[in-house]
Amino acid sequence: MGIHECPHELLLEIFEALIPDYPSLHSCTLVNHQCNRAASKVLYTRIVYSPRSDERTLSLGDRGKLSEPSAFVSSMLPRNAIHVQRLEISGDIPTRTPPFNQLQEKLPIAIHAYRNLRAAVFTPASHCPNTFTEALLQLQGLPCLEELEVNSSCADERRAPLLVGIPRLTKLTLRDPPRAILQLLPEWLPRLKESLLCFHLKGNCGSITPGVLRSLIPYLQGIKSFSLGLSYSLADADVFYFLDLLPSLTHVQLQYYLQFNTPKSVPPFPRLRSLSVKHSILDTRQDVGRFSVWIRRIISSSKLESLHLIGDASPSACGASVSFDGLGEHISKRHGPTIRHLNLGSAFLGLPSLRQLCQCCPKLELLRIAVSLDTLTKFGMVSQGLTHLRTLELYVRNTRRSLRNFNDSFISRAFQDAPKSLRRVTVDHTTWEVRRSTPWIYFFLLYALLTPRHLRCDGRPKKSTRTSFL
């Protein structure tokens, strides 16, 4: 089958497989008109403008031009604007006022052109105070907008009234919410009551007190997903009382911090299916023990399908690790029949606990843990019961750095007895993949990427190496 004969729908599926390799997608737009239409639809679905701090230095000659080449600039063209469904503005955007800040002038024009925009994310680390004022007015008139994520750049006293004018949202995320927007939530949430399914308060939530949390309960009866960041004003009893009064809640993300006045009883959460917990560094057995008990009390009555631990420690950290075997054994015994995604981050599990986990969790599809080098070499043998496992991410702990030399032959030997369903293995940030694609797809991609008009101009090193080991 030639490229000119390839159906448009099939081209879309092929190009979607290239995400997030955007330089290759850009190359595919240069093949012919048919490939340009299909690749552009994939390439411009998500627009991200996120300059780094080292890309913007103070210069009197800076005329505020947007960085080139920028997908944000070309996305405003009519033929590309119809494809944009997600817009993300983050990073260190210009702080100067117009005319030295073209983003403030072009952002409302871009949003007006994005008639099919479904999600907007405005979370810059630095910004000019008026950057998003006109943009929020444009968002109020978008017919397809469903998801919105903002930080204090859009939620201060001047812009919060504009923000609460946006209707029909299904997902709302407020990062580091200031008091100005919290005071307007009782006015905004009733208008979103019929559509809102996900409500997230993330980051620094110090402005949220028990009274503020209780005032939101009548307007959140229909939400299924909720997140709460760090607030030392809230005790565990306040948070558990709030969650217990949300009858439709199935997905929760919480911030854990050590409290000595823990409640004597925790209400059951039988509807809970997914729990994510952010926590600080846990480097002693006592800290790990308290943390594990805290999680077990929350999930003890639920049919848990997903558990995600998000720690402050870097996954690449070395040295000794405290065992989370108690939490692993609880998951095996109480949630083995239902658990599908188990992402424990860099939490360490010993070989006996891992063996029990593999025997009791037949539906497990994703597993992310830290293990010893000996456990890594034996994983293929102990994981025979994980017949649905597709993604595995391991971090090697309690082992000298000089012994961490994982090449293709080592991985092939260690996982030769692994379940046949396994598609991706990551060990200390290096990834190996099993690719099962039909030969003609490979031929087409090879042809598209090796056409003389296609020159890969992205010379940055890859974060991971991907090869096939089966």
Residue 454 binned pLDDT confidence (cut-offs 50, 70, 90): very low
Residue 205 contacts residue 174 (beta carbons within 8 Å) = no
Angle at 224 between CA 221 and CA 226, to 5 degrees: 90
Query: Could you tell me which of 376, 292, 299 has the C-alpha nearest to residue 335?
Result: 299
Among 3-12, 24-33, 254-263, 316-325, the range scoring the smallest mean pLDDT is 3-12
Q: How confident is the model at residue 411 (pLDDT cuts 50, 70, 90)?
A: confident
How do residues 47-66 score in pLDDT, each as one tens digit? 988 887 654 444 545 554 55
Confidence of residue 316 (pLDDT cuts 50, 70, 90): low
Nearest CA to 296 out of 255, 341, 245, 332 is that of 332
Could you tell me the residue ranges of all domains in the chain?
Answer: 278-434
Residue 312 has pLDDT above 90, yes or no: no
Q: Where are the beta strands (DSSP E) in 280-396?
A: 306-311, 341-348, 366-371, 391-396
- pLDDT value, residue 463: 43
* pLDDT for residue 438: 45
Least confident of 141-150, 194-203, 373-382, 453-462: 453-462
Amino acid 402: pLDDT:
61
Instruction: Tell me which CATH code domain 278-434 carries.
Output: 3.80.10
Extended beta strands in 189-304, E state: 198-204, 225-230, 251-255, 274-279
CB-based contacts of 30, cutoff 8 Å, min separation 6 = 36, 451, 453, 454
pLDDT higher than threshold 70 for residue 200: yes
**pLDDT interval class at 435 (50, 70, 90):** low
Task: Please compute the mean of the pLDDT values over residues 237-247 and round it to a whole number.
Answer: 95
Question: What six digits make up the tokens of 149?
Answer: 């994520």
> Average pLDDT for residues 368-386, to the nearest whole number?
90
Across the range 144-162, mean pLDDT stands at 94
pLDDT at 92: 85
Instruction: Taking residues 412-417, report their average pLDDT.
Output: 83
- Using alpha carbons, select from 30, 27, 109 the residue that is nearest to residue 75: 109
Is 334:319 a contact under the CB 8 Å cutoff?
no
Percent of the chain whose pLDDT exceeds 70: 84
Please state the rounded mean pLDDT for residues 100-126. Answer: 91
Mean pLDDT of the chain: 84
**Is pLDDT above 70 for 127?**
yes
Taking the chain, what is the end-to-end CA distance rounded to the nearest angstrom? 28
Q: Lowest mean pLDDT of 65-69, 264-268, 286-290, 452-456, name the range.
A: 452-456
